[in-house]
Amino acid sequence: MKKQNLITKFFKMKSTPKKEESSTQASSTQKSKAEEEKEEFPEQKLDEEYKFDLDELKENFRDGRRIFHNRLKFYTIYRPDMIKFVDLLDEYLNNPDLIKEEEKTTQAENVVFTTFVSEDSFIAKTLIKKKIECTMFKHGYQTATVPVEPGKSVLDFPEINMRCILPDLKGKFSVFHPKVMLIKFPHFLRVVVTTCNFMGLEWECLGQLIWFQDFRYISDPIECRFKTDLMRFFQDIMPSETTITVKKAPSVYKDVLIDKFAIDKMKDPPESGKLFRQVIRGEINFEKYDFRDAAVDLIPSINGYYKIEDGSADNQGMIRVKNIMKNSEEFKVTDNTQLIYQCTSFGKLYTKLVTEFVMSMFGDKIEYTSVTMKERVKFIYPEDQQVQDAHEGVPSNCLKLREDFWFDQKDFPRYLFHKFEYKESSKEYTRNVHHSKVMIIKEKDQEIDDNSAIYIGSHNMSGGAWGTMRNIGKTLFIGNYEMGIFFKPKAGTKALKQRIVNSLLYTIDPPSYDLATEKPYLFVKAF
């Protein structure tokens, strides 16, 4: 069958039939998988009380117009919209209910992912053990004060078909923080944006959100904004020095080596280049996929300085959101328009920074006054006791709100903070620290509508993530690398946005903190 014929069958694809296994082999394989599953997760049953349209999910799960949650170890039930990382490596999310009649699933061939931190044992059991070729972009040693040295930015591990790339950092406190995945299947590319680092702890023990969309293979390139933004992001995170250094795999991979003699067989180190396609393992060619039906806009932040006047800041952080909102005919600001933001880390906030941020999120369609800010903004963050009582407790939490900022910084906006409260419908999923980052723009005391907007991604509430204005407003400085997705104001999007908000485990209208007697979870800076 020609590849062109396969393209038209994207939503009714059939994989090439595999050779039949003997009943003994199949039984052994199933037993092995079941034993592994039992080690990782308790037996979990589908939450039958959760109202969910399974037929709609079956028809549209790959369309990017919804979000998913990660499945956690702590509970005896799970919802249809809760998945594990390994589910993303299967075309139908390892869910037989999603497979249409006479269809067969396909498996991932190649994975490129970005992460702030990683866990080798998790990579070994989820990717290497499945013999999936992979490339990891990860926060590394480089800082503004540590020069990039040849051979230290791109490390290749041929024994496990894996490559590790360390992007440049241009600030003393800059971090590489996006959580993006490109998962290549035989006939489509799955683009994933999540709030989760590549660690078992984060995928299995902390509350996360996952967005993905599948894009079909095409023979001729088609241009669109989503494709341009995606290509630009992966080229922008490429390090300036791309010499490839071959390394032996760490000992944690000793039981999953794909070819333990791979290094001995190599006569020459891999060739390097400056382009994304030249440096990753395997092949992912953005020109071969149709991104025109992307359901979201990408919101990248790339570490660096950008001039406002030449337009170089237009695609970055809060300026990117500002331009989307400013150019949206559907978005109308009223006296009741508010911003609700749940995240895990708050930087050194001050009035000017919060003002710039909120005005950008509203597309510069409001004027700031201190009187209205309290009515317009809600920062959602858990109480100290909630974290103490969480399943994994304080040692595993990912929350960063410094005690000295909260108590000692004169203009820190404590009055904007609200409690983290679970919905009554989510009572089975409590005692869980959330690592998600969600921003919702809507009308106060009203339902979600076409005018609403939703952000999900890696951005926490900080100037490093979203950017700060420098040089009297002439320059934008982005301190981190980040990535998020944005459901913008648009006609006909009310239902999908309401579905997203309904799926959240927590309420978006919690009470504020009584600053005289209550405080959120705070940590003391250790350095």
Annotated binding site for substrate: 179, 437
- Please report, for residues 38, 98, 195, 275, the alpha-carbon distance to residue 93 in angstroms, rounded to integers and kept in the order given: 19, 8, 18, 31
**Number of continuous H segments (helices) and E segments (strands) in the chain:** 15, 24
Question: The dihedral of CA 66, 67, 73, 75: what is its sign?
Answer: negative
Cβ atoms < 10 Å from Cβ of 486: 18
Pairing relation of β-strands 468-470 and 345-346?
A: unpaired
Contact 373, 359 (CB under 8 A): no
Closest CA to 92 of 107, 113, 102, 70: 107
Pairing relation of β-strands 417-418 and 377-380?
A: parallel
Query: DSSP 3-state assignment of 90?
Result: strand
* Eight-state DSSP code of residue 402: B
Closest CA to 229 of 486, 509, 507: 486
Contact 88, 98 (CB under 8 A): no
Q: What are phi and psi of 212, to 5 degrees?
A: -150, 160
Query: DSSP 3-state assignment of 111?
Result: strand
Listed as own residue / partner, the contacts of 125-131 with beta carbons closer than 8 Å and 24 or more positions apart are 125/256, 126/85, 126/86, 126/89, 127/89, 127/162, 128/160, 128/161, 128/162, 128/253, 128/256, 128/258, 129/256, 130/89, 131/161, 131/258
Closest CA to 323 of 358, 357, 353, 364: 364
- Please report, for residues 174, 176, 400, 462, the alpha-carbon distance to residue 349 in angstroms, rounded to integers and kept in the order given: 17, 21, 13, 7
- Please report, for residues 359, 496, 504, the alpha-carbon distance to residue 423 in angstroms, rounded to integers and kept in the order given: 30, 19, 8
Question: The dihedral of CA 367, 370, 376, 382: what is its sign?
Answer: positive
> Per the annotation, where are the binding residues?
179, 437
Closest CA to 441 of 354, 359, 323: 359
Which residues are identified as catalytic?
177, 435
